[in-house]
Structure 1
Amino acid sequence: MLNNDIGIIGMGVMGKNLAFNIARNGYSVSVFNRSHNETMKFLFKNSIDLLFPFSDLEKFINSLNKPRCILLMIQSGSPVDKIINILLSYLDSGDLIIDGGNSFYKDTIKRFNFLQKKSIQFLGVGISGGELGALQGPSIMPGGNIESYKLIAPIFKKISAKYDQEDCVKYIGPNGSGHYVKMVHNGIEYSDMQLIAETYSLLKNLVGMNNIDLSYTFKKWNEGELCSYLIEITGNILCKKDTDGNFIIDSILDMASGKGTGAWTANSALKLQIPCSIVTESVFSRYLSVLKANRMIASTILSGPKVSLNSNFNKEIFIEDIRKALYLSKIISYAQGFFLMKKASEHYVWNLQFSDIAKIFRSGCIIRANFLNDIVTAFSENNNLIDLLFTPIFQDIINLYQLSLRTVVTEAINNGISVPVFSNILSYYDAYRTVNSSANLIQAQRDYFGSHTYNRIDQSGSFHTNWLE
């Protein structure tokens, strides 16, 4: 009779690679897939002594050491609930179910509460790094009871990415907190990708760079303060050619899709009343990209300026302005993401430790970047920071680089090049540093048509004016 360390249900790309990673690190793994043929194909190609395939779910469950640890790597939503209900017929009190998919955090909270009543342990675990990360070492964000995490911690620590020999896995907090942090990670990812895409557009259409120059520029930037995974892969993408010698990037249709986690982040920000405008604008930018037919029509009937650089335009200086604008924008994007997590932590009483979260993000995940070390330092000194933008680590950069952001946005607008997220960041930055905004007029309007009252700057209490008298 087998006593395997862990069972994995779902042999998609992530499930297969995690199984391979776990087995390679010395743990015995039972695997089950809805299509047993797919499981067998996988094991035939990747024959390892510690991988055990099963076509029968009951035998799969009985092959596991107690308390059983079962990792679900299946599509989020109703499929997770269906397999949980099936598993309940076979599991014993104290067994652990782990949802490693991109599940909505509120669904995770419901499942946690439901399974707790059944005496079944449950973890909602965010796993980032994509196909390669799952195989070589992902960033892992477990949420649930700390006792449940301790059951699986040795495996997670062994298979996770490493940063200076430190494991990129930390216990996040109760119930849905792990999936929430992964959701915000994905929201920042949306912003990061959109900012890089806008940078690519400016360098290509305004500066006039070809793909080789573009690739060289991103690779050079990756050697400095912009060093990050997404900058690295952008440099690699832009110089890649297909078999006929043409650049692949030029053949890709400009319609960007997503799996919904960016929209989840934006919705959460709206419900918590947090101005997470950068993620929201990035989501809208993807939606607009999908309206390809509309954009083609608009390009023929709606007018705008043509790209026309003045004679005093210095390309080298402008390229450096773009680099600075991109770095500043990344800082503000991450700051918004951490501010959202801070408010969610307060709202759901999760007690998130933000230096630990920043440490998890430093390797294995998609948004890994060198300046996360500065974020680690900032939160290590004070977990209750009001905002990352107020920290000495970033203040000098922000105050210096905002001039470059203004230059970049101005040139883009004057030449009719869309930079929605760069523009949004500049607007957010200026609104955030404005002491007396125009919101007093909005509140007066609300009181005028709806008697919603207003507060005064010279008296305490709520006031209403009969505006028609």
Structure 2
Amino acid sequence: MQNHSNLNDIGVIGLGVMGKNLALNIADNQYRVSVFDLDPVKVNGVLQQEKQERVGQELRITGCANLSEMLASLTKPRILVLSVPAGAPVDGVCAALISAGIEADDIVIDTGNSLWTDTVEREQHYQGQFIFFSSAVSGGEVGARFGPSLMPSGDLGAWQHVAPIWKAIAAKVNPQTGLPIERFEPGNPVTEGEPCTTYIGPAGAGHYVKMVHNGIEYADMQLICEAYQLLHDGLGMSAAEVGEVFERWNQGSLNSYLMGISAEVLKQADPLTGKPLVEMILDKAGQKGTGLWTAVSSLQIGCPAPTIAEAVYARAVSTQKSLRVELSKKLAGPLSPAMDENQKANLIDALESALYCAKVCCYAQGFQLMAMTALEQKWQLDFAEIAKIWRAGCIIRATFLQSITQAYQADANLSCLLMADTFASTLSEKQTEWRIAVAAAIMQGIPVPCISSALAYYDSYRSETLPANLLQGQRDFFGAHTFERLDKPAGEKYHLDWSAQERVLIKL
């Protein structure tokens, strides 16, 4: 509950785009906010924006000249939100807060994209000086302003203090349909519906879940881009025509924020040339690390996440622009078979199914990765709740997440999303169209690393026997790495003496 003294409820440190919008969002929800930034211009910018948005109303944001002034302005235990770049800046602010007189029961919330292991270390490092808490934030600047998806983790007692504010500022969904309830009006926040935030678990858990969210985001974006290239380069459709296809797909099972904005981008004309804007944008994609961290984590723990990894590789390939230009002149592609209008229409339908199936596999990889890490870290992650808080506010928000929520509600111990009847039956039904789309892309010479890797993932998991038996034979031949046998108890190790004239099987 808000306090009724002259003190403010919460402080926000760092007033870049995200910090500024979080502060305004918190103020919209009837909390009083103290703000600070090393740049006074940013402090004044927030204060001016609040004045413009709240003409004739009580102002709820107070600017602070330094951290000591901020600490003095807040009710205890103080809640301080850090919105600064990950890494050294976080520790820099923490050190400054210690110098300014922060107390042991005060709560510092890191809302940046910090590496989850750094968060675990920080909670331990600052223990006794203040409570280091973390909350990943997804949704970009609009989400921060009008309702993000929030993934908090750390001290459970701290969460009790933070929870009312976080539930107020989070994005909201209709619990029956799973659809976002959105309103982008300053001073008129959405108060109805289910908030897209839940306590994730101990320190690091929230940032890990956000990291996986971003890995899925990388893959989801790349899947859409591959569909665009197949339609544009393979079928000769204009950018606007592809945008119309995406707009239609967005009315069905592929409904999502990313699909919606992709359609909008493709239909946008370039203000300078009048050509499609997308065709004037240099095809080199950057990354900030979270997708890479997800791929690395999957390799470290031994969880297959090929579609997420391929999305990271696709961005890496895109940066090799000059090499691609050179090789485009040297490497031959296929002579693409001609298609009539009926064949094109069938391929568009097949691609819609392929995109949905690949998306299911991408999410299956992300949720399995979270499950395996939770087991290793002894976290009790609630996957139904995680799917629920991704239904609105975040970048990967989609109608599809309602189905994931229901799958985990039906079976909290679901080992893999592909085990859920709803997904198993749909993928089985659509897999032929999926294969048609991948085959068409290959025959057209169009790279679809994510769509095809997702199909390989599906085929790998539906295979009772994989060629790893030969692989184990190879390893035993050159390195005596041993193998298990199908006809012997699990765990028993065997080695064949490959160098002997008469090869003998040895039980170890």
Give the TM-score taking structure 2 as reference length.
Answer: 0.90
Q: Which runs of 5+ in 1 are unaligned?
A: none
**Deviation readout 1:2-28 (Å, 9 max, x if unpaired):** 511110111111000011111111111
Q: Is the 8 A contact 2:82 2:111 kept in 1?
A: yes
Q: In 1, are the aligned partners of 2:50 and 2:61 still within 8 Å (CA)?
A: no
> Does the CA-based 8 Å contact 2:361-2:457 persist in structure 1?
no
Partner of 1:270: 299
- CA drift of 1:176 comes to 0.4
Offset at residue 195 of structure 1 (A): 0.1
Show the counterpart of 2:186.
none
**Structure 1 residue aligned with 2:499:** 468
**How far did residue 383 of structure 1 move?**
1.4
Q: Which amino acid aligns with 2:25?
A: N
> What secondary structure is seen at the aligned counterpart in 2 of 1:455?
coil
Q: CA deviation at 1:346?
A: 0.8
* Counterpart amino acid of residue 234 in structure 1: S
1:310, distance to aligned residue in structure 2 (A): 4.6
Match of 2:264 in 1: 236
Give the residue type in structure 2 aligned to 1:184: V
* Alpha-carbon separation, structure 2, partners of 1:336 and 1:309: 36
What amino acid sits opposite 2:157 in the alignment? Answer: E
Matched, 1:149 2:178: no
Q: Which residue, out of 35, 40, 50, partners 1:31?
A: 35
Give the match for residue 396 of structure 1: 425
CA distance in structure 1 between the partners assigned to 2:474 and 2:346 by the alignment: 45
1:42 CA drift (Å) = 3.1
Amino acid at match of 1:126: A
Tell me if the contact between 2:67 and 2:96 (Cα under 8 Å) persists in the aligned partners. Answer: no
CA distance in 1, matches of 2:239, 2:339: 24
Matched, 1:14 2:18: yes
Question: In structure 2, the residue corresponding to 1:454 is in which secondary structure?
Answer: coil
Which residue in 2 is equivalent to 1:333?
Answer: 362
Specify the code of the residue in structure 1 equivalent to 2:170.
S
Does structure 1 residue 452 correspond to structure 2 residue 481? yes
Deviations 1:409-464 (A, max 9, x none): 11111111111111111111111111111111111121122221111111231011
Determine if contact 1:172/1:353 at 8 Å carries over to the other structure: yes
Partner amino acid for 2:137?
I
1:441 correspondence with 2:484: no
Query: For residue 373 of structure 1, what is the aligned residue in structure 2?
Result: 402
Partner of 1:407: 436
Question: Which of residues 285, 288, 298 in structure 2 aligns to 1:256?
Answer: 285
Alignment check: 8 A CA contact 2:109 2:132 kept: yes
Q: How does 1:143-292 map to 2 (within 5 A)?
A: 143-164=153-174, 165-244=193-272, 245-292=274-321
- CA deviations 1:137-168 (Å, max 9, x no partner) are 00000011221111111111111100010010
| Greater Cα offset, 288-297 or 372-381 | 372-381
SS of aligned partner of 1:131: helix
**2:270, 2:280 within 8 Å by CA — same for their partners in 1?**
no
Deviations 1:347-399, CA, capped at 9 Å, x for gaps: 11110000000000000111111111111111112211011101111122100
Matched, 1:4 2:8: yes
Contact 1:277/1:424 (CA < 8 Å) preserved in 2?
yes
Aligned counterparts, 1:19-98, within 5 A: 19-47=23-51, 49-89=59-99, 90-98=101-109
Indicate which of 304, 308, 318 corresponds to 2:347: 318
Q: Is the 8 A contact 2:173 2:194 kept in 1?
A: yes
Q: CA deviation at 1:307?
A: 3.1
The CA distance in 2 between the partners of 1:257 and 1:215, in whole Å, is 23
C-alpha distance after superposition, 1:165-216 (max 9, x if no partner): 0010111111100001100000000000000000000111112211221111
User: In the alignment, does 2:121 pair up with 1:102?
Assistant: no
State whether residues 228 and 369 of structure 1, in contact with CA within 8 Å, keep that contact through their aligned partners in structure 2.
yes
Alpha-carbon distance between aligned partners in 2 of 1:22 and 1:447, rounded to the nearest angstrom: 61
Contact 1:36 1:54 survives alignment (8 Å)? no
- CA distance 1:94–1:306, change in 2 (3 Å): same
Q: What CA distance in whole angstroms lies between the structure 1 residues aligned with 2:483 and 2:327?
A: 43
State the secondary structure of the residue aligned to 2:126. helix
Q: How far apart in 1 are the matches of 2:208 and 2:381?
A: 11
CA distance in 1, matches of 2:339, 2:29: 60
Distance between the aligned counterparts of 1:2 and 1:447, measured in 2?
A: 74
Maintained 8 Å contact 1:93/1:119: yes
Distance in 1 separating the partners of 2:413 and 2:23? 38
Taking structure 1 as the reference length, what is the TM-score of the superposition? 0.97
Quick one: which amino acid aligns to residue 344 of structure 1? Answer: T
Report the AA paired with residue 31 of structure 2. Y
Superposition deviation, residue 73 in structure 1: 0.4
Letter in 2 for 1:160: A
**Deviation at 1:312?**
8.8
Unaligned runs of 5+ in 2: 175-192, 501-508
- Write the distance in 1 (CA, Å) between the matches of 2:329 and 2:239: 27
How many residues were matched structurally?
468
Q: Distance in 1 between matches of 2:163 and 2:268?
A: 39
Aligned to 1:88, the other structure's residue is in SS state helix
Contact 2:209 2:370 (8 Å CA) reproduced? yes
How far apart, in 2, do the equivalents of 1:305 and 1:2 lie?
Answer: 73
C-alpha RMSD of the superposition: 1.3
Residue 311 of structure 1: CA displacement? 5.4
**Code of the aligned partner of 2:135:** V
- Quick one: distance in 2 between partners of 1:177 and 1:310? 50
Of 348-357 and 50-59, the range deviating more from structure 2: 50-59
3-state SS, counterpart of residue 314 of structure 1: helix
Aligned to 2:152, what secondary structure does the other structure show? strand
Larger displacement relative to structure 2 (302-311 or 50-59)? 302-311
Counterpart AA for 2:35: V
Distance 2:411 2:304 in 1: 22
In structure 1, give the amino acid aligned to 2:233: N
